[in-house]
């Protein structure tokens, strides 16, 4: 279990995250949603151990995350960044093989190549395996990075966790759903998935649990059907929406009302 | 149907598909570069006022280890090879390899293919210390000169380079984390400061001292001898042997420091190790041969163009090519204007400068910026 307890993080007097608690259990997908600046990325960084909370603690399997050795942690938990500034011409396959580095000493074994190729196929970029990363489009790069983190925790070595920071950025409709379908698949195989999402309908359709942040605090933490009400969405995002039942799935469907423009005549 | 066939075919040979690692260029790279180095070395020790052909070189070397051959050579050739040419070429190999490997590692650390060991203050710190010793060695620092004799200058240069690098590292480290962009900026500031003081020294220097400073700041392998090599070797090995062990970590760091951390790399430890190892190796190089530019920048570039950016291949390949190029450049430096000798820094900069510009323009054309 990945657990954040009473997490608070401030820069100066401003609290970016205030008293947030959450748990991610192997087998479930937890989505973090919230307006820009609500503290989603800061919360993810705290849960990764990249930032140290001012108050509160992050536990992985009951042990404080900073007490894990970096390598053991990397074998259990992979993190997909929002974007990656890789400026060197590795092939896509080489980038994905880097995901195997916590498991490898010396030269990659055939099994590492097999996993890397399977991860490329899962992220639907196997046809790009030999292409230089620098020549790929933004969406293709994002999917290669996804394949890299999948390869990192591919094998079932006990409880594993996948942390995704806006994984659907830059992706077309097919690959947005493709990415979350992979997350669902990994969850079914016992991986705990935590993902930041902007699209509430993606969160509603794929997440088991949704955590809504507003100004660094938890506004709601429940099943999508309970969280996504017009009142709560108005409070979190300051927007009027209509929520209807999804015609074929057991989840809500959120439709935004037309908005007024803020352009003023001067 | 065709699709499922293709899939099952691939499943039969997992990991067997051709990857860049299997391509001939990559597999043959190190043996070919080693052959190139041997050829350049044989050429360089043979050319000069006293010609020695490769067979004679081998015969003379075998004689040193007690094996007699039927190949005739003169004693004059033997002494020229053993006392003058070989130490010079061996020093070229050590320094060329160290500069190129250091360049590759620093470029990886800065995630910038245009970085170079000079960026972190090694060259300018060493040059500053050397200028101080040259100009003030007979007056203010005379006790140091008296104590260390001919070792005063190289030792001062080594300490100066190392101190400047550590200072830059300290300036960029806050709360246990080193900011690479801050290091770059601090490096620029320290380099400018060193340049100012060197300028002051050249202003007050006598004509002889001025020639010494100039000669030193342009680099030369002309002072090579076996005892200097004995002093240089441990530092060189300290850079050449452990850096390749960090290759996998350096690869991961190209993804970004946070990403490397998530892959299990102890990023701060890698940064410190690379900086210290590079400062030791390059500091020792500068101490014995002065400042030799562009090699650390250009060699890793050349290797990346052909073999890709994987540090596991890049570091050893850079070492071999760097050694070959510096020995070749030194051969040019001492033969192009016989009987005079051109400082080697002029040769490397004359060849390296235009090449660097070509790289810049090519990159710019390719990325469209």
Tens of pLDDT, residues B130-151: 888 888 877 777 777 767 766 7
CA distance B105 to chain A (A): 14
**pLDDT interval class at A176 (50, 70, 90):** very high
Question: DSSP for B106-128?
Answer: HHHHTT-TT--GGGGTHHHHHHH
Q: Determine the pLDDT at residue A129.
A: 94
Chain B interface test: which of A88, A98, A157 (most B C-beta within 10 Å): A88
CB distance A113–B304 less than 8 Å? no
Residue with tokens 């973090």: A32
Q: Number of A:B CB contacts under 8 A?
A: 92
pLDDT tops 50 at residue B69: yes
What the block records as the tokens of A48 is 């990764």
**Contacts (Cβ under 8 Å, ≥6 apart) of A87:** A134, B111, B112, B113, B254
CB distance A71–B264 less than 8 Å? yes
Residues of A in Cβ contact (< 8 Å) with B261:
50, 70
Does the ipTM exceed 0.85? yes
Q: Determine the pLDDT at residue B150.
A: 67
Check: CB of residue B160 under 8 Å from CB of residue B131: no
CB distance A74–B266 less than 8 Å? no
Beta strands in B83-217 (DSSP E): 173-174, 177-178
Lowest mean pLDDT among A150-164, B21-35, B47-61: B21-35
φ, ψ for residue B256 (rounded to 5)?
125, 150
Give the C-alpha distances (Å, rounded to integers) separating A80 from A116, B166, B327: 16, 34, 46
CB distance A113–B308 less than 8 Å? no
CB distance B255–A111 less than 8 Å? no
Q: What is the pLDDT of residues A199-246, one digit of tens each?
A: 999 999 999 999 999 999 999 999 999 999 999 999 999 999 999 999
CB distance A75–B112 less than 8 Å? no
Q: Which of residues 31-50 of A touch B (CB under 8 A)?
A: 48, 50
Pairing of strands A77-80, A160-165: parallel
- What does the alpha-carbon distance between residue B207 and residue B205 come to, in Å, rounded to a whole number? 7
Q: Determine contact: A205 vs chain B, CB below 8 A.
A: no
Q: Determine contact: A60 vs chain B, CB below 8 A.
A: no
Exposed (0-12), middle (13-18) or buried (19+): which is B95, by Cβ within 10 Å?
Answer: buried
Share of chain A above pLDDT 90, in %: 85
In degrees, to the nearest 5, what angle opens at C-alpha B64 toward C-alphas B60 and B69?
Answer: 50
Q: What is the pLDDT of residues B157-205, one digit of tens each?
A: 889 988 998 898 888 888 777 788 888 889 899 999 999 998 998 898 8
Q: Determine the pLDDT at residue B366.
A: 61
Nearest Cβ partner of B259 from A73, A81, A111? A81
| Helices B311-335 and B86-109, axial angle in degrees (round to 10) | 140
Chain A interface test: which of B11, B13, B255 (most A C-beta within 10 Å): B255
Q: Which of residues 107-166 of A touch B (CB under 8 A)?
A: 110-114, 117, 129-130, 152
Cα B309 from chain centre: 18
Which conformational region is residue B110 in: left (phi greater than 0), alpha (psi within -120 to 50 degrees), or beta? alpha
Residues of B in Cβ contact (< 8 Å) with A50:
258, 261
pLDDT tops 80 at residue B8: no
pLDDT tops 50 at residue B3: no
Range A6-21 average pLDDT: 92
Q: Determine contact: A105 vs chain B, CB below 8 A.
A: no
| Chain B residue with Cα closest to A86 | B255
Q: What is the pLDDT of residues B205-250, one digit of tens each?
A: 888 888 888 878 888 898 888 988 998 999 999 999 999 999 999 9
**Positive or negative: CA dihedral B343, B126, B242, B189:** negative
Share of chain B above pLDDT 90, in %: 34
- What does the alpha-carbon distance between residue A132 and residue B236 come to, in Å, rounded to a whole number? 34
Q: Determine the pLDDT at residue B6.
A: 36
Nearest Cβ partner of B15 from A78, A114, A152? A114
**pLDDT interval class at A99 (50, 70, 90):** very high
CA distance A34 to chain B (A): 24
Chain B residues with at least one Cβ partner in A under 8 Å: 10, 14-20, 111-113, 248, 251-252, 254-256, 258-259, 261-266, 304, 308-310
Q: What is the pLDDT of residues B314-330, one digit of tens each?
A: 999 999 999 999 999 99
Q: Which of residues 225-264 of A touch B (CB under 8 A)?
A: none
Residues of B in Cβ contact (< 8 Å) with A152:
263
CB distance B304–A101 less than 8 Å? no
């Amino acid at each position: 279990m990945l657990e954040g307890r009473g997490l608070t993080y401030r820069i100066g007097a401003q609290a970016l995250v205030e008293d947030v608690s959450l748990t991610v259990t192997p087998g479930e997908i937890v989505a973090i949603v919230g307006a820009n600046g609500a503290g989603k990325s800061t919360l993810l960084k705290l849960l990764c151990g990249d930032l140290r909370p001012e108050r509160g603690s992050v536990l992985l399997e009951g042990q404080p995350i900073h007490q894990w050795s970096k390598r053991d942690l990397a074998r259990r938990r992979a993190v997909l960044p929002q974007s990656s500034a890789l400026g060197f011409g590795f092939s896509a396959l080489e980038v994905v093989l880097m995901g195997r580095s916590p498991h490898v000493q010396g030269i990659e074994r055939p099994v590492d190549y097999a996993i890397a190729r399977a991860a490329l196929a899962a992220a639907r970029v196997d046809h790009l395996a030999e292409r230089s990363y620098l020549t790929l489009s933004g969406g293709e790069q994002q999917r290669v990075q996804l394949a890299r983190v999948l390869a990192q925790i591919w094998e079932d070595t006990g409880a594993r966790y996948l942390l995704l920071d806006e994984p659907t950025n830059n992706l077309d409709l097919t690959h947005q759903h493709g990415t979350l379908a992979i997350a669902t698949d990994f969850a079914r195989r016992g991986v705990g998935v935590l993902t930041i999402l902007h699209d509430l309908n993606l969160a509603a359709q794929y997440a088991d649990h949704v955590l809504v942040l507003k100004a660094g605090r938890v506004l709601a933490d429940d099943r999508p059907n309970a969280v996504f009400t017009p009142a709560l969405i108005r409070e979190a995002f300051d927007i009027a929406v209509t929520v209807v039942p999804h015609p074929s799935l057991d989840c809500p469907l959120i439709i935004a009302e037309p908005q007024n423009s803020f352009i003023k005549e001067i | 149907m065709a699709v499922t066939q293709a899939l099952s075919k691939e499943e039969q040979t997992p990991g067997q598909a051709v990857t860049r690692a299997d391509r001939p260029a990559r597999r043959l790279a190190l043996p070919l570069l080693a052959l190139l180095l041997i050829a350049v070395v044989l050429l360089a020790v043979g050319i000069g006022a006293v010609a020695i052909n490769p067979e004679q070189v081998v015969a003379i070397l075998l004689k040193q280890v007690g094996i007699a051959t039927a190949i005739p050579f003169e004693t004059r050739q033997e002494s020229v090879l053993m006392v003058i040419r070989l130490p010079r070429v061996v020093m070229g190999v050590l320094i060329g390899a160290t500069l190129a490997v250091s360049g590759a590692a620093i470029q990886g650390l800065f995630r910038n293919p245009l970085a170079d060991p000079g960026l972190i203050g090694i060259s300018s710190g060493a040059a500053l210390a050397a200028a101080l010793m040259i100009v003030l060695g007979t007056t203010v620092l005379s006790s140091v000169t008296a104590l260390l004799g001919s070792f005063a200058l190289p030792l001062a240069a080594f300490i100066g380079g190392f101190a400047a690098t550590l200072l830059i590292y300290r300036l960029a480290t806050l709360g246990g984390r080193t900011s690479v962009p801050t290091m770059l900026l601090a490096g620029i500031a320290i380099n400018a400061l060193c340049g100012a003081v060197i300028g002051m020294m050249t202003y007050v220097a006598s004509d002889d001292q001025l020639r010494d400073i100039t000669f030193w700041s342009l680099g030369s392998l002309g002072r090579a001898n076996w005892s200097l090599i004995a002093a240089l070797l441990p530092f060189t090995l300290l850079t050449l042997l452990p850096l390749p062990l960090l290759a996998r970590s350096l690869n991961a760091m190209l993804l970004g420091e946070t990403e490397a951390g998530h892959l299990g790399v102890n990023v701060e430890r890698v940064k410190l190790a690379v900086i210290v190892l590079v400062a030791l190796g390059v500091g020792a190089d500068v101490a014995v041969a002065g400042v030799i530019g562009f090699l650390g920048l250009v060699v890793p570039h050349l290797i990346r163009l052909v073999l890709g950016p994987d540090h596991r291949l890049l570091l050893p390949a850079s070492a071999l090519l760097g050694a070959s190029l510096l020995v070749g450049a030194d051969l040019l430096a001492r033969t192009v204007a016989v009987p005079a000798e051109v400082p080697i820094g002029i040769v490397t900069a004359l060849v390296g400068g235009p090449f660097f510009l070509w790289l810049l323009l090519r990159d710019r054309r390719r990325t469209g910026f």
